[in-house]
Structures are given as C-alpha cells and as structure tokens.
Structure 1
Amino acid sequence: MLQKYAELAVRVGVNIQPGQTLFINAPLPSAPLVREIAKEAYEAGAKHVHVEWSDEEITYIKFKHAPEEALHEYPSWLAKGREEVAEKGGAFLSIYAPNPDLLKDIDPARVAAATKAASLALQHYRSRLMADHNCWSLIAVPTPAWAKKVFPHLSEEEAIAKLWDVIFHVTRVDQEDPIAAWKAHNEKLARIVDYLNNKQYKQLIYDGPGTNLTVELPDGHIWAGGAAKSTDGTVFNPNMPTEEVFTMPHKDGTNGVVRNTKPLNYGGNIIDGFTLTFKDGKVVDFTAEVGYDTLKHLLDTDEGARRLGEIALVPHQSPISQSNLVFYNTLFDENAASHLALGKAYPTNIEGGTNMRTEELLERGANDSLVHEDFMIGSHELNVDGVTKDGVREPIMRNGEWAISI
C-alpha cells in the first residue's frame, strides 16, 4: 500500500517529469513513505530528490526555549533554496501531518511571530505555487500524536493503523487501480467546475446554523477543482485527498455572519466554536469558544488576513465527511465540508490572474495577504444559492448536497 501511495503521489500528485527536481517537505515519522516516493520519482525520471525533514519535538523545544528575536527570523538560505528549485522548474511535495496540540501551552504571540516571519521569507516561493508556476501536491501520513487525536480511545499502534486505513480509503489507494480512480474523480469535479463557470454567478448566499452570509464574486472569476495545470502545461493534483470546487470571492464583497462547523488547527493550536462577522469584505467582529487569542493573532497578521481569499463547496456525502471523523487536519477537514479561507487569493481563480501583478489583482477584487487559512462551515444543514447577473436566485446546494445536475 505504501508503494501504491508513493506512486500516486509521484504520478498523479506532482506528476514528476523527466529531468525534474522533486523537493519534499516531510516529518520524520514519514521516512518509510518518503523512501518509496524517492524511488518512484527516480523511476519516473526525476533528476534530483531533495528532502527537508522536520521534527515536532525540535519545533516545540524552539518555541519553548528560543529567545524572542529568534522567532522573528527565518533563515534566508532556506527560503532561497526553495526559490532556486522553483525557478528551475522543480516540483514540490509536502507531507502534512501536524500534532494539533503541539503548541497548546505556548504563548500564541510567539507562534504568530514565527508564522509571520516564515510567511514573509517564503512569500515569493508560495506565490509561485499558488499561481501554479510549479507542480505541487499535499498528502499526509499518520503520526503518533495526530493518530491519537483522531482515535483517542485506541492504543497508539491501533490508532496509527486505523488512520492509515482511512487515508488509503479517501485517497483511493485501496482501489484496484488508484490512478484510474483519480482520473474518474477528476472528471466528475471538472463537470461541476464547468457548470459553475458557465453560470458566472455574481453572488453566493450561504444559510446554515449560525451562518447567514452573502459573498460577491468578481467578474471573470474561475472555479477550479481536482486536477490543475501548471504554466508549462503539466497536469497535477494539488491536494490528495480532494473533494472541493473553489473560486475567488471579491475582497470587498462579503457581508453577514459565519460560524465554523469543524475545529481549526492553526499553528499547533485549536480554534473552535468561532464566528466571524463581515462588513464590506472585512471581519469587523469575531468570537471564539476555544483559541480566541490564536484567532486574534491570525486576523491581525496583516490587512488581508481579515478578508476572504477563497470560497469552496464540498458535498456532505464526500468520503471524508462520511467517515464521521474530525481529523484536526485542514487537508482532510476542508475536504469533508464546504469552507472559506481567510487571506491570499489564488491568482488562478480569475481570468489572466497568473500573469497579473499584485496591484492588478487587487484592482480585480483579489485579496492579498501573508496567510491563506481554510476554515470549515459546511454540514448537512447548509444551503447555498447562486444569484445570476440578471438577479435570479438558484439553488446550488441543499442540506449540504449538490442541487445541480452534474
């Protein structure tokens, strides 16, 4: 199964090309999978496979004991290394499996400082990936802390095994031909994308428990989902798993109140039971039952952190949602429920966006920020309507399911 998962990540996730460099960000517990990925990548023709390892124990030690000034710095040589690989056409694979409670006893201000420093240093690299100048993909592996958070009543060994089973299922690795299964899945998402792009709604209206929200869409917005295409024409899958279709809201056009439906793991801290009140696109008030200070630091990152950069629709019947699990991992939870994202918009979500400067994107209604943070608002009680340019209101989702012909 590891070999099949590695093949899927290489052939469908980043879709490595002959002579290309693969850069992997990986936690130490993922080493067995990373070795399989490296082998698959070289067999696919990769020139180099570079791995940047991370260790949560070291991360915790730094946040606990490092001097304050260290948290406001990010090694420029690390940032330049990624930029160099990106500018030479490399592909990037990240293995995302954070411990949701890693930094729960750390002052949120220290975490916010380090997060902002990293975001500033990696701004150019992340902008390239968000504009699909490079192929990139995000996958996950079970780690002891994450597995125990999802399955607290199981032993560590049982929890890891159970989480592997779930990952293999929702990424279609447990099917006879995972690559063919992903092709069919991408085709289904493409049909939904085509429907919504043809509609070109001017506005979406969300209605659910604690949520009454209106979101304006900019002219020329583009819905996307499933497979993406890099600027050199290579098809890749940014997220594995993925069940969403998404687009760009107008940065000044969100009004109303929204409430989360799943916990948000942000920077090693949990934010939950929170509401955001928007006026003319900006969060003007917020509450949180858990993680209020962490949410405040997120919103105060910069001006754009209080505005939306993405809206995404996910049916309640998605395999991840039907697992009835809370993963405390955005890669999984965002593909179990419709969601919004605070912060930077993807330039690929507006016509001609990948070739626009930041100023041009802002003029078209795209948001800019150092952050891009998804939070879940979907459930079996969420209804979403689209408003056409002629003012006709049409159902898109009812009780969390598609109300359109796909």
Structure 2
Amino acid sequence: YNTKALSGVDPQRIAKSRRAGAKLQTRFMERAAAGELHWTLTAYPTNAAAQDANMSLAEYADFVFGAGLMNDDDPVARWREIDAQQEKICQFLNTRAQLRIVSKDTDISMSIAGRKWINCSGHENFPDGEVFTGPVEDSVNGHIRFSFPGIYAGKEIEDIRLEFKDGKVVKATAAKGEELLQALLETDAGARFVGEVAVGTNFGIQKFTRNMLFDEKIGGTVHLAIGASYPESGGKNESGIHWDMLCDMREGGEIYADGQLIYKDGKFLLDL
C-alpha cells in the first residue's frame, strides 16, 4: 500500500485519467443513489497511512478504532444516537434556502433551496460523521481559504484559495502544488463547480491524517468538494473528479442559514 504511488506522475496525466473515468463515476453515483449498489468504505491501519498521519502504527490503530467509536461500551448504540441527532440537523437544513460560511479569509454563500441534506452515520463510510448536500450549481459566490492541505493522488496542495462567481471557480491559487490544482480544475466543465458542501461532526477525530475518509469527518470543520455531486442530495453537477477540501471552523468560524447563525466555533447552535 503506497500512498505516494502517483506522486511523480504529471498533473495533466492525472486529470486526463479522471476525465476517462467520468462516465463510470457518474454511473456509480447514480446506482448508489437509486439503492441499486451498496458499498462500504473503511481503512485498515498500515505503516504507510500511519506515516502520512505522523503516527506510529500502534498510535494510528488506536486512532482508527477511536474514530469509529469502537472503544465505547456499545458502539452500535452510540452510532444510532449520532444518526438520530444528525437527522434532526438535516431536517432543519432541508427547510432552509441559503447558506453562508464565514471563517478566516473565507466568506462564501450558496443556495441550498430544494436540495436534500444527507445524514452520514456509518452506512457507507466508516468511520463516519458528517451532513452534506449539493448546492445549487450556479449559486456559489465568494471566497474560501482551506485550512489544511488538499490531498490528491498522493500529492499535497497547500494553502488553497478559491474565488467563486455564479457557481464557478474564477480564481484559484496555492502556495504549493498549484500546477496540480489548475490541472484538476481543467479536468472537465464540471470541475470548477461545487458538488458538495458538508459539515464534519465526528469529534473523535481531531487530527489531520492526510486521509480524507477521516479528515472530512473532523468535528468542527466544513468541506467543499469540487466536481461531481451525489445525486441523492439533488445535486446535478457532473465531473470526472470529486475532490474534498477542508476548512477549520473551530476558531471563529460561523455558518448562517437564511441569515440565522446556526453554527459557531465548530459546533451547531441548534436546539433540536
């Protein structure tokens, strides 16, 4: 298991590969949304993954089991509690039309009208812990600075900043790895649009590991994915990529729904 196997590959070839797989990815997402295809993604502790996370293998194994709440007296009951709590958040957000995310060097707004928020509580990804939807494709406006490196094909892209106008990325910079960032944005017509906006809710995950299975779930973060939408959310964007990037909200971050402050410093304020 070599997490850096594609590190030396030309960014243009990586983007070309993603374009070639676009129809397959679209079909996979459609079948999953229709309930025709069932899958579960998890991670087994390996030395390579532990090294990426700056941990020993033993530390990383403890981290993996802790992220899945496997050390709880009754993990199944705990995940059912999380499922019920997150479902209330989703039901609330399903009644809202506008979302605004504010954090350091970030102020971005989008329409979520008519879209469905999805409760992620261990049925597909494990560990889990997020709620997400696909924003209205041409509605995203503003700018965002991602707190953590973007990881793609074993490469790190640092200090990513994106500016959106009418849904589309119109400016993109990075302190490191900008060539790959620009290549990914040119993958296809859908690669410059947001396919997913999500809030991480798993406070058993607090450390960045360079594995998005874990990192996108970090409690107190939000993430955006450029590229393909998940059809079950009502999102319509199609692309050969679906690339998540992570923003820390734990120090001063705020989320507004229809102008109401619903989230601050990494936690929901809703009394549900």
TM-score with structure 1 length normalisation?
A: 0.63
Determine the C-alpha separation between the residues in 1 that align with 2:19 and 2:70. Answer: 36
Report whether the alignment pairs 1:382 with 2:253: yes
SS at match of 2:21: helix
The aligned counterpart of 1:102 is 5
Equivalent residue in structure 1 for 2:89, among 177, 184, 192: 192
The aligned counterpart of 1:330 is 212
Deviation string 1:142-197 (CA, Å, 9 cap, x unpaired) is: 2222211212xx6xxxx111111011011012223322222222122112112222
Determine the C-alpha separation between the residues in 2 that align with 1:270 and 1:382. Answer: 24
Determine the C-alpha separation between the residues in 2 that align with 1:143 and 1:130. Answer: 31
Deviation (angstroms), 1:126: 3.8
SS at match of 1:404: coil
Select between 305-314 and 124-133 the one with higher mean Cα deviation: 124-133
For the 8 Å contact 2:16–2:187, the answer to whether it is kept is no
Equivalent residue in structure 1 for 2:47, among 136, 141, 144: 144
Report whether the alignment pairs 1:179 with 2:76: yes
Q: Which structure 1 residue ranges, 4+ long, deviate > 3 Å from structure 2?
A: 118-123
Report whether the alignment pairs 1:320 with 2:186: no
Determine the C-alpha separation between the residues in 2 that align with 1:143 and 1:112. Answer: 28
SS at match of 1:140: coil
- Which consecutive residues of structure 1, in runs of 5 or more, have no partner in the other structure? 1-54, 57-98, 228-235, 351-364, 388-392
SS at match of 1:188: helix
Determine the C-alpha separation between the residues in 1 that align with 2:248 and 2:236. Answer: 23
Determine the C-alpha separation between the residues in 2 that align with 1:121 and 1:195. Answer: 33
CA 1:193–1:126: 2 relative to 1, 3 Å: closer
Determine the C-alpha separation between the residues in 1 that align with 2:28 and 2:233. Answer: 18
The aligned counterpart of 2:185 is 299
For the 8 Å contact 1:261–1:379, the answer to whether it is kept is no
1:95-244 mapped onto 2 (5 Å cutoff): 99=3, 101-151=4-54, 159-197=56-94, 200-218=95-113, 220-227=114-121, 237-244=123-130
Deviation (angstroms), 1:114: 2.6
Determine the C-alpha separation between the residues in 1 that align with 2:217 and 2:197. Answer: 12
Report whether the alignment pairs 1:367 with 2:237: yes
Report whether the alignment pairs 1:405 with 2:259: no
Report whether the alignment pairs 1:248 with 2:152: no
Deviation (angstroms), 1:281: 0.2
SS at match of 1:319: coil
Deviation (angstroms), 1:113: 2.4
Report whether the alignment pairs 1:394 with 2:263: no
Determine the C-alpha separation between the residues in 1 that align with 2:133 and 2:173. Answer: 26
Determine the C-alpha separation between the residues in 1 that align with 2:132 and 2:8. Answer: 35
Determine the C-alpha separation between the residues in 1 that align with 2:35 and 2:222. Answer: 23
Determine the C-alpha separation between the residues in 2 that align with 1:302 and 1:311. Answer: 20
Identity %: 32
After superposition, the CA RMSD in angstroms is: 1.9
Determine the C-alpha separation between the residues in 1 that align with 2:265 and 2:68. Answer: 25
Determine the C-alpha separation between the residues in 1 that align with 2:75 and 2:111. Answer: 37
- Which consecutive residues of structure 2, in runs of 5 or more, have no partner in the other structure? none
Determine the C-alpha separation between the residues in 2 that align with 1:122 and 1:204. Answer: 27
The aligned counterpart of 2:143 is 257
Larger radius of gyration: 1
Determine the C-alpha separation between the residues in 2 that align with 1:314 and 1:125. Answer: 24
Determine the C-alpha separation between the residues in 1 that align with 2:59 and 2:31. Answer: 36
Residue 198 of structure 2 aligns with an amino acid whose one-letter code is A
